[in-house]
A = this chain, B = another copy of it.
Amino acid sequence: MANPLIMKFGYPVDLTEDDHAELERITTHARPVGPRTDLAREGDRPEVVRLVMRGLACRYQRLSDGSRQIVSLMLPGDMCGLHIVILGELDHSIATLSACEIVEIPRTTIKRLTETNPRITRALCWSSMVDQGILRNWLASKGRRQADRQLLHLLCELLVRFEAVGLAEGNSFPLPITQEEMADILGVSTVHANRTLQWLRAEGLATFYGGRITILDRKRAWELASFDPNYLHLKRRS
């Protein structure tokens, strides 16, 4: 089975055989974690970087009124918390959505890598910058699109990101979440998330069934969402 981290890091850098071996070694001891389980909470001072190898996880913030906003989705190959190396308290929480397999990388390992392996260091940096780009894009989407286009844009993004780690099948990818969680991603109410999903179906753009998204009309979806994958920076270096 392909290693999502190695696939992902192949985009920004040309990994050597040794790099492959190194990354393979780091990712061997994945720990299973049940669905909807907090991996770290706001205020924690975690000592490890967490890497998703299987399943879907997220970062979220809870506001004082109890509402929740999911601020990023972590697919296989995504990691959270390079910032753990730098900062003190976590300013958001991290949780699984589906059942996951998680690797916990001690900060010492990260330290060693950054001191000895420039290619992997570069990939780590790249990954953090891509996360930042996604965040900017979500913010712009939330700020300037209505919920239906925002949802469509999100699905376009996820299809591309799943493809990048070899986990898309045709125009479909796994998204084992409830509509309530979808609402927390979009920053809308559960009721409105439901109606927005119905619009997707009615328009024949995509379906959400059995924890899977299938994009039915990719071309029209891209157009309607004015989706431009540039911000994912997945072009291999020429």
Contact = CB atoms under 8 A, between A and B. Distances in A.
Given A86-B12, A86-B122, A145-B63, A136 B71 contact: yes
Nearest to A188: B143
A192 B85 CA distance: 41
Contact of A129 (B63, B82, B230): B82
Interface in A172-207: 186-187
A230 to B, nearest CB: 6
Interface string A203-226: 000000000000000000000001
A231 to B, nearest CB: 4
A72 interface: yes
A125 B86 contact: yes
Q: How large is the interface on A (under 10, 10 to 19, 20 to 34, 35 or more residues)?
A: 35 or more
Contact of A91 (B72, B88, B233): B233
Interface in A110-136: 122, 125-126, 128-133, 135-136
A235 B63 CA distance: 22
A28 interface: no
Interface in A72-105: 72, 82-83, 85-89, 91-92
B63 A226 contact: yes
Contacts of A226: 63-65
